[in-house]
Amino acid sequence: MAGIKGIGDAHTYDGIVHARWNKPIISALLDGTLKALKASGVKSENIVIQSVPGSYELPYAVQRMYTGSQTQSAAASITGGMSGMGLMQSATDLLGGSTTDLTGLAKEVASGGAPKEGAPKEAAGVGQQGLKQPFDALIAIGALIKGSTMHFEYISDAVSHGLMRVQLDTGCPVIFGLLTLLTEEQGLERAGIAGTNGDQGHNHGEDWGAAAVELAAKRKGWAEGRFVE
């Protein structure tokens, strides 16, 4: 898809929401996603990362993150990006605690990977001017491992339907990055960190990043009556 890289390079804004359970798997998947986005030409400053406690929170987080990007981009277009920061200052963040502004967080993605340990995890990449447009695609990343109760089945089903609903309701592509696993080993393999040396398997995060760029480009094309391949 030769045309995808150019679109991603100049215009694509991507949001990533990841759960914090099963941290080794999630961290590897996040790294793989960022690698694919950047390889496709997406600018580091056009990527926003947020985290939530678990996979059950992903649909809500994705929905509110997209709504926040609409608010912020609208404010930027009205004020030229100067006074719009205040509109997000009072919004409660996804964890329900502090008042986190998407425009004011560190550019950790620009350093070449996921947010560093100890740095703010709620967002990365967007500078002081904030988002200039709503997200073109969102990626939800989580890992559920089956236990001895029905918890796994209920959460898997709820999150799957929730993410699909957000995608259809907003019209924004939501990439399904939820691993539903029977064992931890399956997760390590799908994050590309299985085996003695932690280098076996395939990192599905790379597939999700590529899918986000492709769907973002096609979404723009469809809106303009074009069909992008």
pLDDT in tens, 146-193: 999 999 999 999 999 999 999 999 999 999 999 999 999 999 999 999
Residue 77 pLDDT: 67
Residue 188 pLDDT: 98
Looking at the chain, the whole-number percentage of residues with pLDDT higher than 70 is 72
- Compute the average pLDDT of residues 220-225: 93
Residue 80 pLDDT: 60
Residue 42 has pLDDT above 80, yes or no: yes
Which range, 9-23, 28-42, 116-130, has the best average confidence (pLDDT)?
A: 28-42
Between 200 and 125, the more confident residue is 200
Between 128 and 80, the more confident residue is 80
Looking at the chain, the whole-number percentage of residues with pLDDT higher than 90 is 66
199-215 pLDDT, tens digit per residue, is: 999 999 999 999 999 99
Contact status, residue 167 vs residue 135, Cβ threshold 8 Å: no
Out of 11, 18, 151, 202, pick the active-site residue: 151
Q: What is the mean pLDDT of the chain?
A: 81
Topology at the third CATH level for domain 2-223: Rossmann fold (3.40.50)
- Compute the average pLDDT of residues 59-67: 97
State yes or no: is 151 an active-site residue: yes
- Compute the average pLDDT of residues 192-200: 96
Between 197 and 97, the more confident residue is 197
Interatomic CA distance for residues 110 and 184, integer angstroms: 31
Residue 10 has pLDDT above 60, yes or no: no
Q: Band of the pLDDT at 79, cuts 50, 70, 90?
A: low
Q: Band of the pLDDT at 88, cuts 50, 70, 90?
A: very low
Interatomic CA distance for residues 205 and 84, integer angstroms: 33
